[in-house]
Amino acid sequence: MAATFEDFNFNRQTLNAIADAGYTEPTPIQQKAMPPILNGQDVMGIAQTGTGKTAAYVLPIIMRLKYAQGEHARALILSPTRELAMQIEENIRTYSKYTDLRVVTVYGGLGPKTQIENINKGVDIIVATPGRYMDIYLAGHIVTKTLQVLVLDEADKMMDMGFMPQINRILEVVPRKRQNLLFSATMSEKIHQLSANFLEFPTVIEVTPQATPAQTVEQKLYYVPNVRTKINMLKKLLDEEGDITKLMVFCKTRAAAEDVYKFLGRKFGEGQVKVLHANKGQNTRINAMNAFKNDEVKILVATDVASRGIDVSDVSHVINFDVPVVIEDYVHRIGRTGRALQSGVAITFCNPAEVYYLGKIQKLIRQTIPEHKIPADVFIEETPYEERQDQAKEIDLQKRKENPDFKGAFHEKKTLNQRKKFDAEKAKRVGHVGQPKRSKPKKRH
């Protein structure tokens, strides 16, 4: 196993760029994936974000392309979200700083005009979200015959987000003879099928058992009955944890993210907190991310869609204000901390309707998250009627998922009311003397 980057056959320009970025030893995925990728093999890597997988394929691609050549892209990297695409571009720029390689990133959410202009100037590497890549290709601005390497990053997320039709179309238009690299956080049946269509005799690399959180992350769990108490808990943790230097708070919905953001804004001042969710405009999201990265703000509140592929190296704490419904997102969320061998803390608040998902998460990560008691000085609020109803409905849904014959507490309540009505009707029909009316005896055949 390579103990330093010097052990790979990287050229001096690449080694200098790696040294400038402050990296001295390759992560496990880099040690395992780089030799076969450098060798030109197809590779399938099972690894979470935060394991150094981007560099594991970006460095060999830079080595392969070496310098700017021709007008058309020789490498295409596909990513499910614009955040991750921007992240990959940043990695490429970091590691190719001593080369003249040209990289263009294309994604939706803003007009394609500038992106097309950049491609027309000449490009070596395109980083793209699948939809926007296809749009620009169909408009006649991308030539695919020069492609030598195709990377699908976070392929599982691309499938979840419904990108398969675009990916299949891209596979139809790129050259057959090329090197393919596929990365995914989980190894599902769908990913298996995709790899069979996409990869030829791939080298399969799995880093850490499937979907396990980084060893450097300390996980804590609090059972918290409702939203108001979650806010009280959040306040307590922020008052107490003196070592929170950089915090990400994850919420299930945009509305929850906005509420938490407003609360934190009041507590710490607007300047200390940013919020990231799909309703925010593209520039707002980029600004929020950069402000958090560059230590201009201490706290970032985010939803899961916005959180994929954010590579911020020194997040000290992650708080799951809500338990994620897509259970793999738990690993992604807590993977924001404890990155690159640093330690971190991940705290999860769980209400009664979230216990179901928590159970699935613990099964997935093959760990029991240590439970902590709510501190005595945290006020536990009464759960308001509406929130109680929502929780009960959610629990019914979960039970129905597990057992399709389950009719649910709401159904039982309804049945009870129907039974009362039925009994009342029956009582009416009972004769005045208290005797039921006799029905005619049935004829026997």
Read off the pLDDT of residues 192-237 as tens digits, 9 standing for 90 and up: 888 888 888 888 888 764 455 566 788 999 999 999 999 999 999 8
Same domain, 377 and 303: yes
- Model confidence band, residue 418 (pLDDT cutoffs 50, 70, 90): low
The CATH code of the domain that includes 22 is 3.40.50.300
Helices (H) and strands (E) in the chain, counts: 17, 13
Where is pLDDT greater, at 410 or 171? 171
Cβ neighbours, 10 Å, residue 20? 12
pLDDT, average across residues 328-342: 71
Residue 444 pLDDT level (bands cut at 50, 70, 90): low
List pLDDT tens digits, range 99-155.
999 999 999 888 899 999 999 999 999 999 999 999 999 999 999 999 999 999 988
Q: Is residue 439 in some structural domain? A: no
Q: Is residue 274 part of a domain?
A: yes
The verdict on 94 and 164 lying in the same domain is yes
Domain boundary among 327, 355, 381: 381
Q: Element (H or E) spanning 221, and its range?
A: strand 217-223
Question: At residue 89, does pLDDT exceed 90?
Answer: yes
Assess whether 26 and 106 both reside in one domain. yes
- Residues 262, 346: one domain? yes
My answer on whether 81 and 132 are in the same domain is yes
Ranges assigned E (strand) in 135-195: 149-152, 179-184
Q: Residue 296 sits in which domain range?
A: 217-381
Q: How far apart are CA 30 and CA 287, in angstroms?
A: 30
* Cβ contacts of 336 within 8 Å, gap of 6 or more: 50, 248, 307, 310, 312, 315, 318, 344
- 266: pLDDT strictly greater than 70: yes
More confident position, 71 or 253: 71
Q: Are 50 and 217 in contact (CB under 8 A)?
A: no
Nearest to 349 by CA among 216, 233, 214: 233
* 157 & 107 share domain: yes
| DSSP bridge pairs for 179 | 149
Q: Any bridge partners for residue 250, and if so which?
A: 302, 320
Contact (Cβ atoms closer than 8 angstroms) between residue 246 and residue 297 = no
Q: What is the pLDDT of residue 78?
A: 96
Query: 332 with 307: CB under 8 angstroms?
Result: yes
pLDDT of residue 433: 46
What is the count of structural domains for the chain?
A: 2
Cα end-to-end distance, the chain, whole Å: 89
Element (H, E) at 215: none
Decide which of 420 and 103 is more confident. Answer: 103
Highest mean pLDDT among 164-173, 280-289, 424-433: 164-173
Q: At residue 93, does pLDDT exceed 60? A: yes
- pTM (2 decimals)? 0.56
Task: Tell me, yes or no, whether 392 lies in a domain.
Answer: no
Pick the range with the lowest mean pLDDT from 119-128, 164-173, 246-255, 310-319. 310-319
pLDDT of residue 288: 83
Instruction: Let me know whether 61 and 153 are in one domain.
Output: yes
Give the pLDDT confidence score for residue 240 in this predicted structure: 78
Which residue, of 350, 381, 412, is where some domain finishes?
381
350 Cβ partners below 8 Å, 6+ apart?
Answer: 221, 222, 223, 224, 323, 358
Instruction: Say whether both 171 and 317 belong to one domain.
Output: no
In a domain, 269, yes or no: yes
Q: Please report the pLDDT score of residue 196 as a whole number.
A: 83
Structure tokens at 97: 């700083």
Same domain, 228 and 309: yes
| 340 vs 423, higher pLDDT | 423
pLDDT computed for residue 179 by the predictor: 94
Considering the domain boundaries, does residue 404 fall inside one? no
Same domain (yes/no): 159, 287: no
138 and 230 inside one domain: no
Distance CA 315, CA 336 (A): 7
Q: Which of 21-35, 311-325, 327-341, 372-386 has the highest mean pLDDT?
A: 372-386
Rounded to 10 deg, the angle between the 113-120 and 130-138 helix axes is 70
Kindly state the greatest CA–CA separation across the chain: 106
Q: Is residue 173 part of a domain?
A: yes
The predicted pLDDT at position 437 comes to: 47
User: How far is it, in rounded angstroms, from Cα 98 to Cα 158?
Assistant: 32
Q: Which pLDDT does position 198 carry in this prediction? A: 83
Q: What is the mean pLDDT of residues 356-363?
A: 90
Higher pLDDT, residue 340 or 325: 325
Identify the weakest region by mean pLDDT among 335-349, 388-402, 408-422.
Answer: 408-422
Q: Which residues pair with 317 in a beta bridge?
A: 247, 345
Residue 252 resides in a domain: yes
Q: Please identify, among 184, 206, 228, the residue that sits at the C-terminal boundary of a domain.
A: 206
Q: Report the alpha-carbon distance of residue 64 to residue 10 in Å, rounded.
A: 10
DSSP string over 67-128: S--SSS-SEEEE-SSHHHHHHHHHHHHHHTTTS---EEEE-SSS-SHHHHHHHHT--SEEEE
**What average pLDDT does the chain have?**
83
Domain annotation covers residue 436: no
15 and 47 assigned to the same domain: yes
Q: Which two tokens stand for residue 84?
A: 């991750």
Segment of 104-108, 157-161, 182-186, 298-302 carrying the highest mean pLDDT: 104-108
User: Is the pLDDT confidence value at 75 over 50?
Assistant: yes
pLDDT at 280: 67
